[in-house]
Structure 1
Amino acid sequence: MLAPIILFAFSRPEHTRRTLEALAANALADQSDLIVYADAARSERDAEAVCVVRELIRAAFGFRSVTLIERDVNFGLARNIIEGVSEVLCQHERIIVLEDDMVTSPFFLTYMNEALERYANDNRIISIHGYVYPVAGALPEAFFLPGADCWGWATWRRGWAYFNPNGAQLLRELKQRKLEHAFDYGGSYPYTQMLEAQIAGANDSWAIRWYASAFLLGKLTLYPGRSLVHNIGNDASGTHCDKSSMMDSVLSERPIRLEGLIVEACGPACREVERFFRKQRRWRGAYWLKHLFGFFYSR
C-alpha cells in the first residue's frame, strides 16, 4: 500500500492548481489516496479565493481517491498541519506531506514511497525530504542531514511521535546542551532566532519545532541530490513571503537512486548547505535575512 498524500491548502487557486497538476503527473498518483485539508477564510477578503480552491480540489483527478476536509474556522497553517498530520497518522503508518505551493517532479512519489519502505524500521531516520537547496557544489545522489525539514516531506507514525510542539522546552534544551551553533549550521542560518521568535509569538512556525525536535534527538532526514520539489510560493502571494528566487531549485528530470547509502550525516553535503547559507547572507545581507525569515515563518 502506498503512503497517502496530505495536501494543505488555503486561498491561492493558481498555486493549488499547479501543485495538483504536477502531483497528478507522478507515476504513482493514480494508485495514491489524496487527503486535502482546506483551511477556512480568515476574513471576507479571503472567502472567494478559499471557495475557488475548494472547487479545484473537488474537481481534482488522477488519484486513487480524493478526500476534502473543509475547516469551518481558520486554523492557520501550523495548527492545520500539526492536527492534520496527527489525525492521518492515527489511521496510517506513513504519510507524504505537501502544501499548496509545492510543484513536484514526476519522480517525487516514487522516491518518497521507496524511501518510506526502505527505512520504515530504521529508527535513526525520522523523515524523507523532497526539496534540496540549490548549492553550488556537487551533491551525492541522495544523502542524510541532521534534523527534519518542511518542503515536501514524508514520515512514519513512529517519526511524528517525536514531534514536540513546546518551543520553549526545545530552546531550553538547545541552550543547556550548548547546541545553538550546530543547530544554526555553524552559525550560517538563524534557526535559533526563528525558534526564539516562535516562542515570543512573532511567528507560529511548526517547521522550526519539527526541525528542533529531530535535531535534539540526533535523528536524520534523507534528501535527494537533485530537487524533486520547487516552491512556487516565493512570489509575494503568500501571507508571510515576499518575492525572491534565492531558494529556487531546478526539478530533477530523472529518478533518484537509493542504493548503497550510508546512514549517517553526510559531511560534504552539510558543508555545501552551510556554504550556500553563508554565500546568500554575504551577498544579500539584511535583505537575505528578511526573506529567509519570511520563507519559513509561515511553516
Structure 2
Amino acid sequence: MTYYPIIIPTLNRYEKLKACIDSLAQCEEAKYTELVIGLDYPPADKYIDGWKKISEYIETIKGFAKITCIRQSENIGAIKNSQLLEHYALEKYDAYIYSEDDNVFSPYFLRFINEGLDKYKEDNSVMAVCGYSYPIDWKTEKDCVLQHQYFSAWGCGCWKTKEKLFMNEINDNYFLRNFCRKGIKTLLNESPSNFIGFMNYAFYNEIPNYDISRSFYILLNNLNVLMPRKTLVTNDGWDGSGENCIEKSYIDFSNLDRNETESVNVSDVEIIFSKELEAAIFTLKPKSALIKANAKYFLIKLFGLNNIRRIRHFLRRRK
C-alpha cells in the first residue's frame, strides 16, 4: 500500500485542528504518512489568539512520518492556502489526501483512502475517494458505494493526473460548453441541487468552490466517487463555526455515527444513484431556489449565455 500525504489548511481554530490531528494520529498508517499543514496569516486581530495556539501546537505534533508546515507571512485566504498545499503535495506524490481542519476521523480512515487511491488509480471513471459518507440509507449491504451525485471535501483522496485534467476543464468556458450539450437539462433534472448550483454559477460566470465544482464535473461527465457505506468522518464544523456549514436540514450532516470498529473493503462496492441523498441535499436549499434556477435556465435559453453576460456587464457599468 502507498502512503499518500494528508494536507490540512488552517488559520485559527486550534481546538478543531487538534481534534482533527489527534484522530488522524490514531490511524495505524499515520506513522508512514507526511502531514502537511498550511497555516495562513490572520486577516484581523480577532484571529491572532487561535493562530498563535496553532503555531505553538504544530511544534508538538507526533505520530506521523514527517510533519511539514507551510506558513504564510500575510493572509492569502482559504482557497489559495489549499491550492498551495495541493501544489506542494503533487510535486512529490502521485496523489494526496485533503482534509478541512474541523474533521474528526475513524481509525480506519487513512487505510480506506490509501487503498482506494491505489485500487482506482488507473480507473478513469472514478474521480475521487471520499471518507465522509452522507447520513442516509444507501440501501446496500456492500462496504462501499460508487456514486455520481455529490463530492465531499470532508476527508478525500485525489490523484495528480485526474486533478490536472479537471483543472484544465474548469475554466471560463466550462459552463458555456456544457450548457450547449444535448440533453443537459434532463441530466441536471436528475439532481436538482446540482441544477440549482449549475444555473447560479453559469448565470454569474463564476467557478464554484472545491466541492461544488467537483460535484458538477462528476455529474456532467458521469464519473463516480468512492464512499464507504458508513462514514469514516464526522464534520465538527456543523456547529456554525464552519464557513459553509449551516443548520437548516432535517438531516444532521455532521454525521456523528462514525465507523470506529472495522476496516472497509474497497473492493466490496455497489454503484448507486440515491434519491434519498437528493432529497436530503435539496433540503439545504431555499424553497425558491429551484424556481430561480428554472428562470435563469429560461433566460439563458432565450438570450444565450454570452448575451446574458453582456447585458449584466452593461447594467453594472450603468450603475
The TM-score normalised by the length of structure 2 is 0.78
Q: Is the 8 A contact 2:145 2:272 kept in 1?
A: yes
Alignment map for 1:287-298 (pairs within 5 Å) = none
Q: 1:200 to 1:123 in 2, by over 3 A?
A: closer
Deviations 1:253-298 (A, max 9, x none): 2211122436xx423xx333123334x36xx965999xxxxxxxxx
Secondary structure of the residue aligned to 2:55 is: helix
From 131, 143, 153, give the equivalent of 2:156: 153
Q: Which residue of structure 1 aligns with residue 74 of structure 2? A: 73
Q: 1:180 to 1:56 in 2, by over 3 A?
A: farther
1:52 & 1:125 partners in 2: Cα distance? 39
Alignment map for 1:108-187 (pairs within 5 Å) = 108-136=109-137, 138-139=139-140, 140-146=142-148, 148-164=151-167, 166=170, 168-177=172-181, 178-179=183-184, 182-183=187-188, 185-187=190-192
Q: 1:288 to 1:151 in 2, by over 3 A?
A: farther
5+ residue gaps, structure 2: 291-319
Q: Is the 8 A contact 1:95 1:155 kept in 2?
A: yes
Q: 1:200 to 1:214 in 2, by over 3 A?
A: closer
Q: Is the 8 A contact 1:8 1:80 kept in 2?
A: yes
5+ residue gaps, structure 1: 290-299
Q: Which amino acid aligns with 1:116?
A: L
Q: How far apart are residue 193 of structure 1 and its match?
A: 5.0
Q: Is the 8 A contact 2:144 2:265 kept in 1?
A: yes
Percent identity, please. Answer: 22
Q: Is the 8 A contact 2:198 2:216 kept in 1?
A: no
Q: Is the 8 A contact 2:187 2:220 kept in 1?
A: no
Computing the radius of gyration over CA atoms, which structure comes out larger, 1 or 2? 2
Q: 1:197 to 1:176 in 2, by over 3 A?
A: closer
Q: 1:256 to 1:198 in 2, by over 3 A?
A: farther
1:230 & 1:48 partners in 2: Cα distance? 26
Deviates more, 1:83-92 or 1:114-123: 83-92
Q: Which residue of structure 1 aligns with residue 225 of structure 2? A: 221
1:156 & 1:179 partners in 2: Cα distance? 27
Q: 1:287 to 1:176 in 2, by over 3 A?
A: closer
The TM-score normalised by the length of structure 1 is 0.82
Q: Which residue of structure 1 aligns with residue 235 of structure 2? A: 231
Aligned residues: 280
Secondary structure of the residue aligned to 1:96 is: strand
1:199 & 1:123 partners in 2: Cα distance? 28
